[in-house]
Amino acid sequence: MGNETDLTRADLIKLIATSSKPLNLKGVNLNGLDLKFLDLSGADLRDAVLTGISLYGANLNGANLKGANLSVSDLINIDLSSANLQGSNLYGSSLRGANLKGAILTDSNLSKAGLVNLNLSKINMTRSNLAEADLRNANLTYAELCDTNLIEADLENAILNNSNLQNADLTGAYLKGSNLKIANLSYADLIDSNLVGADLSGAILIGANLSGADLSNSILRNVDLTNADLTGAILKNVKGLKFP
């Protein structure tokens, strides 16, 4: 079928109107379609091709998008609450204003995605790729971010208190003004990261690599730095720093 889509917007509207059950759209090709404001709640969209699509304001509450390709798509104001996005590809997509409450995002690709100001509290993004993602002002309280790739991600003023960032790669990440209180950063890579003015009170940084990191004006009160590497780190005006 080449680049042709399997269904049109009109086809989907008809299916939604006539179906009494959530739609089965597993593996469907909807590349580039305008699906603004459609109700696809509970739909089976596993392995679907949704690249370059517009789902602005659409309802995908409880949808199964496992393995779906949503790269470079308009997902602004979309409802993805309780959706399964495990292993999905959201590279370069804009999710401004999206509802991701209860969504599963493990092993997903969110590199270069726009996640500004999102409420991602308690989200599970274990092993996901968030390299160069825009997470400014995002709420990631209690988020599961173990083994995530956050290389050069923008986390300025993000709220990450009580988050789990064990083994995460934050090399070159921009964390200026971020809240990392009581966060678990054990064995995380924070090489050359910008932590200027960040609050790391009570954070666990056991075995973390902070070489070359800029910690100027940050708060390191009651931080556990056991076996941490601070080679070349900038510690100007740091508050509460105690070495193991």
**Closest alpha carbon to 185 in 202, 206, 199:** 206
Q: Output the furthest CA–CA distance in the chain (Å, rounded).
A: 66
The DSSP code for 6 is S
Residue 75's contacts (CB-CB under 8 Å, 6 or more residues apart) are 55, 56, 90, 93, 94, 95, 98
pLDDT at 36: 97
Q: What count of other Cβ atoms lies within 10 Å of the Cβ of residue 156? A: 21
Sequential pLDDT tens for the chain (244 residues): 345 789 999 999 999 999 999 999 999 999 999 999 999 999 999 999 999 999 999 999 999 999 999 999 999 999 999 999 999 999 999 999 999 999 999 999 999 999 999 999 999 999 999 999 999 999 999 999 999 999 999 999 999 999 999 999 999 999 999 999 999 999 999 999 999 999 999 999 999 999 999 999 999 999 999 999 999 999 999 999 755 4
Residues 182 and 51: their CA atoms lie apart, in Å, by: 38
CA pair distance 103, 108, nearest whole angstrom: 12
Q: What are the structural domains, with CATH classification, of the chain?
A: 110-244 (2.160.20)
Q: Is the dihedral of CA 5, 7, 13, 16 positive or negative?
A: negative
Residue 1 pLDDT: 39
